[in-house]
Each structure stands twice: as C-alpha cells, then as structure tokens.
Chain A
Amino acid sequence: MNSLILRTTTGFLLSLLVLFSVYLMLRGHNAPGGGFIGGLTATAALTLYAFAFDVATVRKMLRIDPLSVAGLGLVLALVSGLPGMLGGDAFLTSRWAVLALPGGTEIHLGTPLLFDFGVYLVVIGVGCAVLLTMAEERGE
C-alpha cells in the first residue's frame, strides 16, 4: 500500500503501540493484560508497519529472524521457572526481589515478570513469522 498519510502516522503509531504493549505486559500480573496480549499488540504494530511500508523493512527492523525471537522467548520463560528450583521448591515457584528506588518508590521484580516477558517474545516471534510470511507470499 502506498499512502503518505498511513506512512507518516505509522511512524508515530509504531512507537506508541509498542510502548502500550510493554505497558500491557507489565500490568498483567494483577490486572487485565499480560505477555500474551502485550505480544499481540506489538505484533499488530509491526504488521501495521509492514502494511505501510513493506515486509523487508520490518524484517530489517527486527534484526533477527522472528522464529529466533520466539526461541529466545521460550528460553526466557523456561529460565524463569528455575530460580524456584534452586531453593528446593517445585518448578515455576515464584521468587521476588524488591528494588528500592530513591524517592521511596519500590519496584517488585519477580520470576513471573520474566515468564511474561518470555511469552511476550514468543507471541511476537510466532505472530510475525506467520504474518510476514503470508504478506510476502501475497506480494510475490
């Protein structure tokens, strides 16, 4: 598609949507959201970009193959289950650390967040692999 309006707005929208997807992923622990929805949103953003420009641009932007993104996500999700086992508990038992920032803010970092991030990457990777492949086939 060759539309100046779409291309100009997509430039802004991409960063906004990716930011929103990260926000969705982070709030997922106690509220609606999570890695899966965040990943879908990010995939939608990248797909929009592929519509406005072309598939090759998106592939270049991702730098690594979408399936490798999915592989990385799987490894992260898997690793997030291990800290619990180091303490003698079962696989996937959660572990939390509190990061105290100056100014009284506390950030709770835990293995479920890592798991969510893994899911986020898997969804982006698989979503992009499927959508970009289909878009390429249509283009050829």
Chain B
Amino acid sequence: MNLLLVAPILLPMLTAALCLLAWKSVRVQRWLGVAGSAALLASALALFAEVHGRGIAVSHAGEWAAPFGITLAADLLGALMVVLGGIVGLMVAVYSLGSIDEGRERFGFHPLVQILLMGVCGAFLTGDLFNLYVWFEVLLMASFVLTALGGERAQMEGAIKYVTLNLVSSAIFLAALGLLYGLTHSLNMADVSLRLAKLNYPALENLLAVLFFIAFGIKAAVFPLFFWLPASYHTMPVSVSALFAGLLTKVGVYALIRVFTLVFRDDVEFIKELMLVVACLTMAVGVLGAVAQMEMRRILSFHIVSQIGYMIIGLALMTPLALAGTVFYLAHHIIVKTNLFLVSGAVARATGSFELKKVGGLYAAQPGLALLFLIPALSLAGIPPLSGFWGKYILVKAGLESGQVVLVVAALAVSVFTMISMMKIWSEAFWKPHPLGLTPAPVGLLNGPIAAMAAMTLLIGFGVEPMMQLAQRSAQQLLDPQNYIQAVLEARK
C-alpha cells in the first residue's frame, strides 16, 4: 500500500530526473516522457484498484504518524483524479511527440511536464493542508516555466497575467493556512476537521472558509476570479494548454471539494449560498464570454470557466446526488476538454491558424478528424448519450430535488450556448470551405491521442452505470468523512 501511494509521485519525479541526466539528447527525453507518463498511468490504475477494492489507502512518510508526519491518503475521488491525471499526462506526452518544437524541447519541456504531473498527483494524494500548498507550488513552478517557455511576445503577456494572479492566490492560501494553524494548531486535514468541530469560533471559521474559497477559486477560475485563464491559455503551445486545460483548474476544484467536505463541514452555511451564486455566474459569464470569441482556443478557454460552474453547483448543493454529479462531471470534463484542445491543435496544424475566420474545409478533407471533433464537442454541450449529457442530467436532477429552479434554468440555458459555440467551431473550421482555397494538410500522429480520448468519452457515455456507481460511492465517502479521518489518524502498518 505504501508503494502504491508514493508511486504516482515518485515516477514523474524519477522521469524528470532522468530527463535532466539526458539533458543533451532531446530524443531520449521524448521517449522518457512517454514511458514515464505510461508508468504513471499504470501506477495510478493500480492505486485505483486498491482503493476501489479495499477502501481508503493511507501512508505516512518515514513512519511519522499523523498529525505530525507527511500524510498521503487516497480515497476514491483522489485515486480517480490521479488516474485522470495519468491519462491526460500520457495523451499529452504522445501528442507532443508530433507537435512541440525542438527549441522548447531543448529547454526542458519534457522534464517540466513530468514535474507538473508530480505536483498534480501530489495535490490529489496529500492528506495535509500545508503539503497541499507545497504541491500547488510545485505544479505552479512547472506551469510558470511552461507558460513562458519559448518566449514569444503574446506568450509573455499571457504568462505575466497567469503568474501574477496565481501568486496572489498562493499568498491568500498561505495566509489562510497561517490563520487555520493559529486556530487549530494542526494542518493535517483529518486532524483539523476534528479540532474545528470542537471549537466554537463561527466568525473566524467563516473568514477562513471564505479565504480558502477565494484561494482555490482563483485556481479553479470561478467568477469573478477567472480572468487570468482566457488571457493566457491561448498563448501557449497546444500540448501545454491541453495539459493545463485538463488538469490545473481541476486541481482547484478538487481542493475546493476536499476542503469543503472534510475540513469545513458545519457552521459555514452561508458559503454554500455564496457558492451557488458564484456557480451560476461562472457558468453564465464563461459561456457568454465564449460567444464573442473567434479564436478556437479562446472559445475553449471560456468554456473551461463555464464548465467549472457546473462542478461548483454539485459542491454547493452538497446532497449525495449533487456531489456524485460533481465527481462525474470532473471525470467527463477532464477528458473532453483536454481532447478539444488537442483537436484545436490538429485543426491549426492542418489549416495553419487558430482563428476561425482563417480556417476551413476540414470536413471535406478529413472527415475522420471532423468526427473526432464532434464527439467531445457534442459531449461538452450535453447531447445524449455522450458523457456530458449524463453529467448535466445528474446535476439538473439534483438541482430540482433541492428546489433550485433558477440554477437549473441557468444550467440548461448555458448548455444551449455551449452548443452554439461548438457549432460555431464546426461550421467555421470544418464545414465552410477554406477561405484561401487551401487543402488542409494531414495531421498524422496527432490523431492518435485525439481518437483515444474520444473513445474514452464514448466509454463514459455508454458505460454510464458503472461510472455513476463510482461517482456515488465517492460522494458517499466525501459526505461521511469519518472513515477518512479514522483511516488517516489510526493508520498503522
């Protein structure tokens, strides 16, 4: 069990170290990246099987028991997220074989991707709030360099916004940690949860809850803290923006789920109301922002924001069904959104631009790619029987059960607008002829990861029953954190 928990962190670290040893040889680094990501996915699946079969897995580094040691813990949600991280990592590693330029490779693209994956997996597996901060820093450091790597003018502009707002978020997170430690004298999540339940300082607890909400809200890109995202994601290379789109905001969502199901359970009713409002506005503003855009990746970036809103709904309602919806939505969204960014890269490769006005003719030239775009695009909009439909269906049902009619209407309206955006990309990039009459170039290897992820979308869509059971089980674990707390605090060999 110890090995399974540390492997998803150690394997990317080992891969990064080996990439540094092979600093001079880009070819070796490339294959190390693919092999390391594949190993990460395998270890994540093994961890998931263990957690699925035998319950929450806990390991204390160096055998220093909680709440003093470094705790790693994986419940179903954590293990599922690590698996998704592995999938995105592998797909992006394969995709970048055919898309990333050698200049970026020579300045450490491959080790940086691995360090980013290490930070992401660490954040999903840690059982300690301060370590969560550290893992956030690890993944942010890697992402800062990846954002700026290449040094193009537009990229630098995006990078400055990205770095600044994320540093603000880290500062707020750290301040909140300091206050929390002052209040409870502990940072281990399970321990803090028990200690907070015994204390009676509602004002301070509310303040802390809001601070955590703001810190993670910036990272998750919720309204009104999302401006860094559409300002920066379209400036990076496609592999990088796909990796970020799939994983980074979702780490923020994961942290929100973890903190608001485990640490702050009672006494923070008003933050739920706040979350509902924020979720509605995030959905609406994100999707309306996308309507005005004519650049593929900017459209997709605004849709990340709007989709984050759906995930927050489930967390705000906090019923078993709603939370299961959030977990389901996370899994669906990571795969679909990463894939859409990969498709946008393939479109740009084939036709030479991300600007919808300058591309076209792909349906006639490459019907295969067109089909591969339609699967994630329709899934994002929520067309049955694709994965997005089920995610939205569960959340809408949960919303109706809780009597949140406004929320349900907003969620459905946002779906329609999502559909409009996807159809805009469809008609501009695929349907209409190329404005200059060019024939799109073949994209070769890039089709591989896109097809694999489209297949996963179909799998979730048609195999909705087992996926839903999984989401419900993990929602149960989240809503009844006693097992988690017990597992962490009483874990002995």
Contact = CB atoms under 8 A, between A and B. Distances in A.
Given A78-B10, A78-B13, A78-B14, A92 B20 contact: no
A67 B16 CA distance: 11
Interface string A42-76: 00000000000000000000000101101110110
B493 A88 contact: yes
Interface string B151-175: 0000000000000000000000000
A62 to B, nearest CB: 13
Contacts of A94: 62
Contacts of B493: 88-89
A72 B62 CA distance: 22
Nearest to A76: B17
B2 A91 contact: yes
B110 to A, nearest CB: 12
A91 B23 contact: no
B17 A91 contact: no
A94 B61 CA distance: 10
A75 B14 contact: yes
B61 A92 contact: yes
B63 interface: yes
Contacts of B20: 67-68, 70-71, 74, 125
A90 B21 contact: no
Contacts of B432: none
Nearest to A89: B63
A11 to B, nearest CB: 29
B14 A90 contact: no
B265 interface: no
A125 to B, nearest CB: 8
Nearest to B69: A90
Contacts of B458: none
A78 B2 contact: no
A89 B60 CA distance: 9
B24 A90 contact: no
Given A65-B24, A88-B493, A89-B2, A74 B62 contact: no
A130 interface: no
Contacts of B6: 81, 85, 91
A94 B59 CA distance: 15
A94 to B, nearest CB: 7
Given A89-B2, A90-B2, A91-B2, A74 B61 contact: no
Contacts, number: 62
Contacts of A85: 2-3, 6
B63 A75 contact: no
A119 to B, nearest CB: 13
A84 B3 contact: no
B19 interface: yes
Most A Cβ at <10 Å: residue of B2, B17, B493 = B17
Given A72-B21, A85-B3, A90 B63 contact: yes
Interface string B5-29: 0100010011011111101100000
Given A75-B14, A78-B10, A78-B13, A93 B62 contact: yes
A68 B25 CA distance: 12
Nearest to B21: A71
Contacts of A90: 2, 59-63
Interface string A67-110: 11011101100100100110011111110000000000000000
A84 B69 CA distance: 15
B3 A74 contact: no
B63 A71 contact: no
Nearest to A69: B20
B2 A75 contact: no
Given A89-B493, A90-B2, A75 B18 contact: yes
Contacts of B3: 85, 91
A72 B14 CA distance: 10
Interface string B280-294: 000000000000000
Contacts of B62: 84, 90-94
Contacts of A74: 13-14, 16-17, 20
A71 B2 contact: no
B72 to A, nearest CB: 8
Given A74-B16, A75-B14, A85-B3, A91 B61 contact: yes
B82 to A, nearest CB: 16
Contacts of B16: 71, 74
B233 to A, nearest CB: 28
Interface of B: 2-3, 6, 10, 13-14, 16-21, 23-24, 59-63, 493
Q: Which 3 A-B pairs have the closest CB atoms?
A: A71-B20, A74-B17, A71-B21
17 contacts: A65-B24, A68-B20, A68-B21, A70-B20, A71-B21, A75-B21, A81-B10, A81-B61, A84-B63, A85-B6, A89-B493, A90-B59, A90-B60, A90-B62, A93-B62, A93-B63, A94-B62
Given A71-B23, A81-B61, 5 more contacts: A68-B21, A71-B18, A81-B10, A91-B10, A93-B62
